[in-house]
Amino acid sequence: MRSSARAFAIALLQSATLCVVVLLLPLRAIRTLGRSAPFSLWTGAPIVNMAINARAERLLGFDSKSLVLHTYYITNAFDYDLSRWRAIPILGHLVPFVTYVWVCLNVDRLHFYCDRGILPSHRAFTFNFLELRIYRWLGIPVFLWTYGADVRSRITTKSLGKPNCCTDCTRIGEACICEDGAAFDHYKKLSRLATAIFSMGDMIEYTPGSRNDLFFWPVDLGAENGEKYRPAIPHSDGTRSLRIVHAPNHRMFKGTRFLIKAVAELKKEGFPVELVLVEKLPNIEALQIYRSADIIFDQCLVGFHGFFALEGMALGKPVMCFIRKPQEYLLNYEECPLINIHATTLKQDILKLVRNPQQLGAIGQASRRYIEKYYSMEAFAKRLQSAYRDLGVSLCK
């Protein structure tokens, strides 16, 4: 009964919202006249890179902003954070609808992830497709980006081979879209309604027809973040323990248990190695711990690196990560200094570095150069500009 009442309330609010949008359409036309730069909005899941991507798009001359309806502990550094308004009893439920009206009246282009828009949906990890149809009717281009859980389905994941995201997962249907039929139907509808879908890494396995060359997790190395990502190249001569830092947001997807076991066995055998786990900390605090690392361990299950790996490389750290298909998943893989490892050989992979600590500095320096060359905001902005031109999307510069 509660679910049906909620569905009725959502439908009623949605209808009222659409009526308001239609009535205020002349105001949208007036507000967009004489605008110095198109207003581009990045919104959806409160992932740290959303705000960075918005700043990168500003380099192309857009008035780009990020907006979230809720935040995680990692960061709240978004241009518009509506989480406090959402927390207000009863009134908080109106926030998505009011926000939707504002978006329809003001925004020139929209960026979402593949699992949600602004209006509520009846199912987790899915869009309210009426919302996307209205954007199309209004002539607002919609660009969809992937982050992982928004597109990963269970059967497809298992078909990639072992290990994979499902290896240790105990949250079937909760952590990812999971169901292949539902995921396929959802993505098929998204493909028809979106201006373009951008994917990368292992996520391309779930997004047929997507554009896969943008590699859209840039690291902000600008002046304001100069100290934040100041290189801390490791200099280990073997006289002290080698420090491995691992920051799993979800242990079961990162292969944390394999890492803990490997390090414990090495320590028991007398090898100088220690493990530091960084969990439930804001990004700015976590970065200070990353700086102390000799080695960054990203994951050994997913088959593709996360943003944590790129941050580690920006700090000048050697990064260990399982990459299932380097030539397909990595940007200029010949130059990428990521240390490719595997869950079944992890102890041996670590031991190689413990026995050869003198090579860590050179790998760290190569890691920093790789980020500067390929993952700076300027580098990403150039890739984005090229994609817009190929798609026939208007540019500011």
pLDDT at 170: 84
| DSSP summary character for residue 241 | P
Q: Region 148-168: what's the mean pLDDT?
A: 92
* 348 located within any domain: yes
CA atoms within 13 A on the CB side of 194: 27
CA-closest candidate to residue 388, choices 56, 34, 45, 132: 56
Which of 85-99, 162-176, 196-210 tops mean pLDDT?
Answer: 196-210
Neighbours of 370 (CB within 10 A): 20
Neighbours of 71 (CB within 10 A): 16
203, two tokens: 């996520």
Q: Any idea which residue has 């987790």 for tokens?
A: 124
Q: Strand, helix or coil at 261? A: helix
pLDDT at 150: 92
d(CA 92, CA 346): 47
Q: Strand, helix or coil at 34? A: coil
Expressed as residue numbers, the domain containing 303 is 223-374
On the question of pLDDT at 319 being above 90, the answer is yes
pLDDT at 29: 64
* 133 located within any domain: yes
Residues 228 and 154 in one domain: no
Q: What is the pLDDT of residues 355-392, one digit of tens each?
A: 999 999 999 999 999 999 999 999 999 999 999 999 99
Q: Using 50, 70 and 90 to split pLDDT, how confident is the model at 90?
A: confident
Element (H, E) at 319: strand 319-321
CATH code at position 344: 3.40.50.2000
pLDDT at 1: 40
Residue type, 150: D
* 199 located within any domain: yes
Q: What is the pLDDT of residues 176-216, one digit of tens each?
A: 887 888 889 999 999 999 999 999 999 999 999 999 999 99
Residues 190 and 320 in one domain: no
Q: Using 50, 70 and 90 to split pLDDT, how confident is the model at 20?
A: low
Task: Indicate the number of domains in the chain.
Answer: 2
Residues 368 and 383 in one domain: no
pTM exceeds 0.85: yes
d(CA 18, CA 212): 34
d(CA 134, CA 111): 15
Q: Region 39-46: what's the mean pLDDT?
A: 94
